[in-house]
A and B are shown apart, each in its own frame.
Chain A
Amino acid sequence: MSLTHDARVPVRTASGVQRPALRGWPEIDNPAAWIVAIVLLIMPLIANGFFLIEIFATTLILGTIALSLMFLAGYGGMVSLMQLTVAGFAAYMVAVFGTSDNANISLGWPWWLAVPMALALATAFGSLGGALAVRTEGIYTIMITLAIGAAFYYFTNQNWAIFNGHTGINNVGTPRFWGVNWRADIPFYYIVLGVAALCYFAVEYISRAPFGLALQGVRDNPRRMAALGFNVNAHRVAAYAFASFVAALAGVLQVWNYRQISPGSVSVGACIDILIIAIVGGITRPIGPYIGALIFVLLRTFALDFLVKIGLDGNRFRLLIGLGFLAIVFWSSDGVIGLWQRWRERLSTPRSSGGRGHG
């Protein structure tokens, strides 16, 4: 039998073993996923406005930014610290092209023009940064993307013509149409949930599509990928473009959420928070960043009360996050989802590690 198979030659079908690459999508036989989906959908019936926006919408927005990092780091092996910067860039662009208090800066475009513009510019910005970063690997990628993030932070602080310096841009307009104020708690929650779900499923889906598989190949062995006919750098830049678009979507939601954007939202500390969220949750699967974001937001919101109660300064909530981060990287290099997975495997011991790919 011949060893080579031209792709064009039709060939017989293989035996009926279930193939991971061809399994049904989305996976509809996972009861836990159904429960989570239903709880998220009926959340406005359960939670009050504070929980709905300050906890869950914020979690979903931060989770989506961290998801863009998970896509780059988990599938592409590229740890980008500029994902929050890309989101912040999109947020600024919504404020600049849309409406705000500052009539000197904001162009007053309607939201349906300002948002696509912001998404396009932020995607271009992130792809450009990516094009710089892909020439390096490992720690140097981190350094370059961190430098881009830091440069953007200081630039927004000092530029008054577009970014309005350290004051930032306040009272950014939010969409109202069909007689609905879409920034009201419940409509906004559903917008955020919809966008987050879209991004989550897009990442999940693409992880098994040729583009995503090739990205994982680039992560595992870039030199071999070139020796298989792939343009590795083009693939990496394309991954940055996709991740930037995801981050930009979250950035638009973020500026609608707070109705203002200022350098504090794109600080280096905030960039690193995104890394912490992704690592704590786990970067091997798209659900990880959302779990990490939930932990982060819960700690940020409630650690203050807890710390005051045990007699410490409430502003030290980062101490708890830091300790949690240390504990996670110490005991589980693949985050909370790694702990969860091992715990489940221990429950069903006889079924040892199968051929499970990522995603």
Chain B
Amino acid sequence: MDSVAHRLSAVGAGAALELRGVTRLFGALAALTDVTITVRPGERRAVLGSNGAGKTTLFNCITGDFPLSSGTIRFFGEDITHFPPYERIRRGLRRTYQISALFPGLTVQDNVYLACRGVSRGRFSLLRPGQNDALMHAAENLVQAVHLTNVRDQRVAELAHGQQRQLEIALALAGAPRFVLFDEPAAGLSPAERLELIEILTSLPAHIGYIIIEHDMDVALRVVESVTMMHNGRIFKEGLPQEIQSDPEVQELYLGGGHE
């Protein structure tokens, strides 16, 4: 298959994320079949496809939540196929969840602090963070960056939906991320919040690549440089956003066929 990554980067230099023949079976059902994707460092890509196309399963396989039935995954050259999720995260992989996966019993600040702590040393520390704790300050800045400073000390259970979605993103940006998987970050956001989301995504440092699952084409195509279409657990088409958008097969399949 004519890989977008090869067309975008002249030499096939070290890929950020490299999936080879990734297959995931649930019993007799093949959620993913022979998925091969290569993403450059810093590349931003959308994964499109109808419900059940295997997009979220793909994310769960990349993060290690689901073991693969076959295939390999490399992250910046390293074979991470058999790594537990936390080892992948410590190497710079991050993800967000379609349905916010936060810690409702803790404050916003503590949520972000945990995210910062998870990718640094001292996870088992029995000493409370002091006034000048670097991670505490890093967490504060991250809270500020996603515009949640005014609710910093509130329990997450008390936040509005849009705020929870912003916190969801903050958790994925803690530490030094190298590659992020965004699973429908715009789900349930108002038009104004969507604009804010687009601004956050486009202002990420250039070295941070990501894959974004997004049903809203307007959001997806404004924040990515390449697109992978999935259908029934397979890669259906890869290309530049305008190619995909104007592709008649894609329009037939995705935009025509029960798009929500």
Contact = CB atoms under 8 A, between A and B. Distances in A.
Contacts of A20: 107, 109-110, 153
Contacts of B65: 223, 226-227
Nearest to A5: B138
A354 B158 CA distance: 10
Interface stretch (A9-17, A113-121, A174-182, A266-274): A9-17
A238 B138 CA distance: 26
A22 B101 CA distance: 25
Contacts of B175: 4, 6-7, 229
B118 A229 contact: yes
Interface size class of chain B, counting residues whose CB lies under 8 Å from the partner chain: 35 or more
Given A209-B126, A213-B113, A225 B102 contact: no
A19 interface: yes
B118 A5 contact: no
Contacts of B85: 226-227
B134 A4 contact: no
Q: Chain A's interface: helix, strand, loop or mixed, by majority?
A: loop
Contacts of A355: 107, 153-155, 158
A214 B137 contact: no
Interface residues of A, number: 53
Contact of B136 (A22, A211, A219): A22
Given A4-B205, A20-B153, A211-B123, A9 B86 contact: no
Nearest to B177: A4
A121 B131 CA distance: 38
A356 interface: yes
B176 interface: yes
Contact of A228 (B104, B109, B115): B115
Contact of B86 (A22, A206, A220, A226): A226
B122 A210 contact: yes
B120 interface: yes
B256 interface: no
B129 A21 contact: yes
Interface string B103-136: 1111101110111111110111111111100111
B126 to A, nearest CB: 5
A221 interface: yes
B53 interface: no
A228 B134 CA distance: 18
A229 B153 contact: no
A7 B119 CA distance: 9
A24 to B, nearest CB: 11
Contacts of B111: 217
A4 B173 contact: yes
B177 A229 contact: no
A316 interface: no
A170 B120 CA distance: 51
B171 A228 contact: yes
A9 B116 CA distance: 12
Contacts of A216: 103, 105-106
A208 B144 CA distance: 22
B145 A25 contact: no
A340 interface: no
Interface string A137-149: 0000000000000
A225 B176 CA distance: 17
A213 B128 CA distance: 10
B114 A228 contact: yes
Contacts of B115: 228
Interface string B180-209: 000000000000000000001001110010
Contact of B106 (A4, A8, A357): A357
A3 interface: yes
B165 to A, nearest CB: 14
A135 interface: no
Contacts of B86: 226, 228-232
B140 A14 contact: yes
A205 B126 CA distance: 8
A4 B158 CA distance: 25
26 contacts: A3-B203, A7-B135, A7-B175, A14-B137, A15-B149, A17-B152, A21-B109, A21-B110, A21-B136, A205-B126, A210-B124, A210-B129, A213-B113, A213-B117, A220-B103, A221-B101, A224-B101, A224-B102, A230-B86, A230-B123, A231-B123, A355-B107, A356-B155, A357-B106, A357-B107, A357-B155
Shortest 3 CB-CB contacts between residues of A and residues of B: A229-B118, A228-B118, A355-B153
Interface of A: 1-15, 17-22, 25, 205-206, 208-211, 213-214, 216-217, 219-221, 223-232, 235, 238, 353-358
Given A17-B153, A357-B155, 16 more contacts: A5-B138, A5-B145, A5-B174, A18-B153, A22-B129, A22-B131, A210-B123, A217-B103, A220-B105, A221-B102, A223-B65, A227-B95, A228-B171, A229-B89, A229-B123, A238-B124
Interface of B: 63, 65, 84-86, 89-90, 94-95, 97, 101-107, 109-111, 113-120, 122-131, 134-138, 140-142, 144-146, 149, 152-155, 158, 171, 173-177, 200, 203-205, 208
